[in-house]
Structure 1
């Protein structure tokens, strides 16, 4: 069952590394152990840091999804943890862009991510972004947690 407690932009910014204009999500709408659903309006902002040549490519939706995954990780962290494990997006697969750009979408973005599988140091998510019932992009993303702990230290 999805938790319906709404978490705002300030909560999000305090729990993920993305700050200022790069914190793209407005609020968490719902979440549980397996999935998260967030809303965003920053795709319409003229000063969106992901814009290039005055446009926001639909491919930038991957960053929106990655931030939803980061928020999901923060929500799942043990309450007594002093530090959230850093996650790195390492792969995006089967991504389908159903529109060429996001900045001309009038409605808020609905950003959804669902955990397909989870290991100690990696997570595979399915993601989708829609607006007003229209699917804009979808795909899968692999996240590695604590990547620095996975590499051997050479001395």
Structure 2
């Protein structure tokens, strides 16, 4: 399997494309990495606030949708983060130099474009142990036609 560029799977661009690299994926799961470096978006005083973990998870869900679409020969489409349930984070922030692994698993997917993903953020320490830093269920919506959906939503 050719490893895709994570940025080709997510319809974000520039500084708002927060994921660093693609690790693995299949029809139900995706794993991506984020390296917290000096140029990382939202870095302040050497840390990224734990609240950004929700966006890391949401972008990994978007990358999963992009991965599944490209496997089917379809274009990457825009989706919407509807919300999160039970976001729990064991740390107040992600430290400069951290390598975060974001795992998403599709828990359900409706024919109407609604979906829910169980997500977690982990960090592998220098001794090889894995620490779970954050968990949540992310709820998303991907309409068949984004322009039509947005037009209807603004009326």
Structure 2 stretches lacking a partner, 5+ long? 125-129
Q: Which residue of 2 aligns with 1:19?
A: 13
Aligned match for 1:86, one of 69, 78, 85: 78
Find the aligned partners of 1:151 and 1:14 in 2 and give their Cα distance.
23
Query: 1:113, 1:125 within 8 Å by CA — same for their partners in 2?
Result: yes
Per the alignment, residue 139 of structure 2 pairs with 142
Partner of 1:108: 99
> Paired residues, what number?
145
Question: SS of 1:102's equivalent?
Answer: strand
Between Structure 1 and Structure 2, the one with more strand by share is: 2
For normalisation by structure 1, the TM-score amounts to 0.80
C-alpha distance in structure 2 between counterparts of 1:151 and 1:110, whole Å: 33
TM-score using structure 2 length = 0.80
RMSD value, Cα: 2.4
Q: Distance in 2 between matches of 1:54 and 1:108?
A: 14
**Structure 1 residues 148 and 108, CA, compared in 2 at 3 Å: closer, same or farther?**
same
Between the aligned partners of 2:121 and 2:47, the Cα distance in structure 1 is 18
| 1:57 aligns with one of 49, 59, 66 | 49
Counterpart contact for 1:5–1:29, Cα < 8 Å? no
SS in structure 2 opposite 1:77?
A: helix
SS at match of 2:47: coil
Q: 2:118 maps to which residue?
A: 126
- Deviation for aligned residue 1:140: 0.5
